Amino acid sequence: MTLTLINNDCLQNPKEIKDLDLSEEEMAALQALNGDDELAALPSKEELFGEQLEALANEYKGDKERLEEAEKENQKKVAQSLEEKLASRRQRRARKNLEEKELNALGN
């Protein structure tokens, strides 16, 4: 068995490494590979997902702003509709009161 066939899971679990039947030479090469000195630092989330994360954040921000604008517009429409209904009701009441006054004036 060569070192190229060893996957990362085997490198993480020492019990599995012992079960591989490696020669002393291969074990020495494997241990040399596992040295912390040769390992690179883990990349940060920004290094891994920087552009994607930024694009998603901008998309979220834009969606949120559009949603807020749509909610404001809907609130304005509802308020305008209620005002129109109130104005219509006031006109009907005023017309009804006027008709009642005219009927009372004619009846007297």
Residue 17 belongs to domain spanning: 1-39
Residue 44 in any domain: the answer is: no
- pLDDT single digits (tens) 14-29: 556 666 677 788 777 7
What pLDDT, on the 0 to 100 scale, is given for residue 70? 98
pLDDT over 90 (residue 93): yes
Same-domain check for residues 33 and 56? no
- pLDDT single digits (tens) 19-68: 667 778 877 777 777 655 556 778 887 888 888 888 999 999 999 999 99
Alpha-carbon gap, residue 72 to 59, rounded angstroms: 20
pLDDT over 50 (residue 106): yes
Alpha-carbon gap, residue 68 to 13, rounded angstroms: 52
Residue 5 in any domain: the answer is: yes
Closest CA to 9 of 20, 1, 25: 20
Same-domain check for residues 35 and 56? no
Residue 13 in any domain: the answer is: yes
Same-domain check for residues 19 and 59? no
- Phi/psi zone of residue 32: left (φ > 0), alpha (ψ -120 to 50 degrees), beta? alpha
Same-domain check for residues 63 and 34? no
Tokens 């060569």 locate to: 2
Alpha-carbon gap, residue 34 to 3, rounded angstroms: 12
Q: Which of 7-11, 18-22, 46-50, 96-100 is most confident?
A: 96-100
pLDDT over 50 (residue 4): no
Residue 33 in any domain: the answer is: yes
Give this prediction's pTM. 0.46
Same-domain check for residues 98 and 57? yes
